[in-house]
Amino acid sequence: MTIEVAEKGKVTIITVPDKFIDALNSLAIKGEIQNQLKENIALIIDLKNVEFLDSSGLGMLLACMRRVVSMGGELKLANVRQETKNLFELVRFHRIIDVCDSLDEAVQSFNKS
């Protein structure tokens, strides 16, 4: 598993290729994401391929967000499937991390701030 990294202007986009983020791969994904971090990063994690996310996946996203914020950056999620959005709402995760419907919406939200 290798994450895909792209740049769109000043925004870094990381696409998770896995269909599942769970206890089996969340640490590896977190490590790969954290290897890409730099000061004041504008980061989008694209979850277009992710069909299932468990508590380990939530923890991984939270840890990445905390690391990004501690480095003066900002993190947003894009292309989150409805099932995952429902989970975020259930645990109120959407209140601490921006969830955008599309990659373009996420990129534009950085341009507004």
Structurally, how many domains does the chain consist of?
Answer: 1
Q: Which CATH number does the domain housing residue 72 bear? A: 3.30.750.24
Q: What is the mean pLDDT of the chain?
A: 93
Q: What is the pTM of this model?
A: 0.94
pLDDT score for 112: 75
Q: For residues 19 and 50, is the Cβ–Cβ distance under 8 A?
A: yes
Q: What tens digit of pLDDT does each residue of 34-45 get?
A: 999 999 999 999
pLDDT at 111: 80
Q: Is the pLDDT of residue 79 over 80?
A: yes
The whole-number average pLDDT for the span 3-30 is 94
Q: Cα separation of 70 and 65, whole Å?
A: 8
Structural domain of 77: 4-112
Q: What is the mean pLDDT of residues 73-95?
A: 94
